[in-house]
Amino acid sequence: MVHYYDDISPMLTTSEVARVLSVHINTVRRWSNQGILKAYRIGSRGDRRFKKEDISKFFSGDGNSKDRRLPKGKTVGALRGKQQN
């Protein structure tokens, strides 16, 4: 018997992503609105969910599309408003 739910990767909430990236939850929301982080809207309230793979690619700077990586020359610290070293 095939279980299709086995193929579904778990999604992260906005607060989980904030914790992983060490940023405020509103920063994750803003990055989602700006297209820096790829978010999926679910439910009638439009809650955001994020794929673990997308966050890993964002964090490592890998990825093939602009919304899956940091803007050129930026670090997570720079996006949070901190100076780059």
**pLDDT for residue 64:** 46
Which of 1-5, 21-25, 47-51, 80-84 has the weakest average pLDDT? 80-84
**Residues 24-35 pLDDT 10s:** 999 999 999 999
Considering only the top CATH level, what class is 4-66? mainly alpha
For residue 30, count other CB atoms closer than 10 A to its CB: 14
Give the pLDDT band (50/70/90) at residue 14.
Answer: very high
Task: Give the per-residue pLDDT at 47.
Answer: 95
pLDDT at residue 60 in the model: 81
Please tell me the pTM assigned to this model: 0.65
Question: 28 near 12, Cβ under 8 Å?
Answer: no
- B/e letters for 67-83, b = 16+ CB within 10 Å, e = fewer, are bbbbeeeeebeebeeee
